Structure 1
Amino acid sequence: MVELVDTITLTLEKMNVDTELVEPKSWEQLKKIESVLSEAFKVQEELKNAIKDTRPSVNKTATKSNIARQTFYNNNLLKQYTEFRISEYNNSDPIKKNEKLLERIAELENKIKLMSERDVSLELMRRKITLLENNLKSIKKENKELHEKYNNLKYKNKNGNNDLSPNNSKVTIFPNLK
């Protein structure tokens, strides 16, 4: 009974339920529910162990069929037949299926993670390329403007229309008024 209460308490804590707030009637009902569920878990574990214990192998098959293991290994037909049937059993074994599915899930999750990282990396590269292209356009535009300005100044200089000649205008200095 103590084990039952401990299981209920742990489960309620996992559910973020304050055990102090559970009413006595609810405790009694939880005990009944937990005893049913604990029995189901126990049966499940027993079945899982029974499946593991009855899982065939060449050695187990040789022992139970009263045929020497050496005969299995020396007679290729017996060995191949046994291995083929064991393979069929493993394909229908729910525990093996579950293990294979869990492995496949892990592989796919890893693949998704790698693909996500690749996609993020590609998006960052695209953005960087766009920024660099915009920067290049700006530099080309500025370069074009500077070339035009240079050519205009060069043209003015050749034609004697030099805007860079010294300024001969007089400067008027005003007294400092404070």
Structure 2
Amino acid sequence: MVSRRTIALLLGSALVIGYIQYATVFGPVQPTLTVENNDTTAYQLSAYTVESSEQAMYLNFEVATRDGERRLKTLSQLVWPDGDRNVTLADDGVPTQQITVAPGETVTTTIDGWVRGDVAVYLGERMADNETHVYTRVRTCPRTGQEHSVTFKEDGGISASALCA
């Protein structure tokens, strides 16, 4: 007769093996972000995680406008870059990561602070132009195993993709 302890150990082992296989097949829990810089200047990409797209649109950022005026803008006002500089999150308690990529560099990381169902917000700034805001994206995917990528191109263009596993 098999003891309860043996059954418990077998079930526990099956759960651990199942989780490892799930993580291997479906990817990491947090989104993976790859940032590639094919331009001749450095870029900074900031990543924020919030609970919903609606909450993302109300995030507040301090910016310096083209006229040099310091003011607050919501993310909804930053969807299309308008020459703002030094874009800095003004809200507290929002998980934040910043990645700086030098010319010719590629960086891959995971988005810390993301939990299942969260929204990832990305803001890019060109460092050579007084940290001029050049890129905004909001990525929504409730599943694990996401892969996001942003490429800053030599001609100043930007391409991006997202895989929602």
Which structure has the greater CA radius of gyration? 1
The two structures have a TM-score, normalised by structure 1, of 0.21
The two structures have a TM-score, normalised by structure 2, of 0.22
Structure with larger RCO (C-alpha < 8 A, sep 6+): 2
As a proportion of its length, which structure holds more helix?
1
As a proportion of its length, which structure holds more strand?
2
